[in-house]
Amino acid sequence: ETLQGIVTDVCLKRKIRNYVDLSGQEEDGDALGVEKTERNLRGIFVRDSGVALNTKIRTAAEAVGATKDKKNKNRDSRAEMCRRYYDIRMFGGVLSTGDYNSGQVRGPMQLTFSRSIDPIVPVEMAITRVAITKEGENKETEIGRKASVPYGLYKGKGFFSPMLAKDTGVTPEDLKLFWTALANMFENDRSASRGDMQIREVAIFVHDNPLGNAPSGKLFGRLTAKSTVKAPREIGHYDVAVDGEGLPEGVTLVRLLG
């Protein structure tokens, strides 16, 4: 109805996982004979590594001496999964899909869908190529299609629970890495199919009470973006503002990119 574009939460978490994975590789170099998860505790549970998720759950469970039991949750194997995998302790996960029941982990960091400020208009363009798909075809070119969005400015929200972070073992270093990954997740994820994607603003409302000092809805309303032209095509066509004046007591504003 609104023609708004949407970027899913799982898309953003995939980018963050990839950044965390790359940052671990860079710091650890080529250490031999030691599993990455043992070196830096930045292992990624959901990744394209050719290893089934249930295999990872089983490996962690066996490491703490857990036995096969689909019905009863093993808290030690759950804790081991949180220790090994950054994305489990940050985003959570379902760990009860195999023979070893490690229960479920509710992640302290939850992201919403990001929605475009204005309607977007996806465009499909016809392209030609000189490569032929099938042998024996008597033709010189083939026709293809490529989709694009001329421009879209999206706004998303995230919520961090210190109480859940305590349960999963998230450290201050983990949280610092998350903010770094969020701000830079598109820099090592370039693709011609997505064009130029950038993070333009990250506004963090920090509460001095673990249970919160103010409703999140009122705080998120302080971040606004309004278009100044009929058909925005760049960030300069928007007035982006973060109101940091008169914040509720116990709440401070931190801007990463503003």
Query: Are residues 159 and 138 located together in one domain of the fold?
Result: no
pLDDT band at 36 (very low <50, low <70, confident <90, very high): very low
Q: What is the pLDDT of residues 50-75, one digit of tens each?
A: 789 999 999 999 999 988 887 788 89
Both 91 and 125 in a single domain?
no
**For residue 35, what pLDDT is reported?**
45
Is 4 among the domain residues? no
Is residue 184 located within the same domain as residue 243?
yes
Does residue 92 sit in the same domain as residue 70? yes
- Residue 219 CB coordination number (10 Å): 20
Last residue of a domain, one of 74, 107, 140: 107
Note whether 36 and 122 are same-domain residues: no
pLDDT for 112-159, tens place per residue? Answer: 999 999 999 999 999 988 877 777 777 778 888 888 999 999 999 999
CA 157 to each of CA 8, 175, 244: distance values in angstroms, whole numbers, following the listed order: 11, 16, 17
Give how far Cα 32 sits from Cα of 28, 35, 39, 43, Å: 10, 8, 10, 16
What tens digit of pLDDT does each residue of 68-107 get? 887 788 899 999 999 999 999 999 999 999 899 999 999 9
Beta-carbon count within 10 A of 244 CB: 15
Asked whether residue 16 falls in the same domain as residue 100, the answer is yes
- Judge whether 137 lies within some domain: yes
Claim to verify: residue 160 and residue 138 sit in the same structural domain: no
Query: Of 107, 137, 161, which marks where a domain is finished?
Result: 107
Query: Where does the pLDDT of residue 27 fall: very low under 50, low under 70, confident under 90, or very high at 90 and above?
Result: low
pTM: 0.87
> Domain check: are 248 and 169 in the same one?
yes
191 found inside a domain: yes
Please check whether residues 75 and 132 belong to one and the same domain: no
Q: Mean pLDDT over residues 178-195, rounded? A: 90
Residue 3 lies in a domain: no
Closest CA to 3 of 129, 133, 140, 122: 122
Give domain status of residue 23, yes or no. yes
> Within this chain, do residues 84 and 122 fall inside the same structural domain, yes or no?
no
Task: Print the domain residue range for 82.
Answer: 9-107
Clarify whether residues 159 and 216 are in a common domain.
yes
How many structural domains does the chain have?
3
Residue 1 belongs to some domain of the structure = no
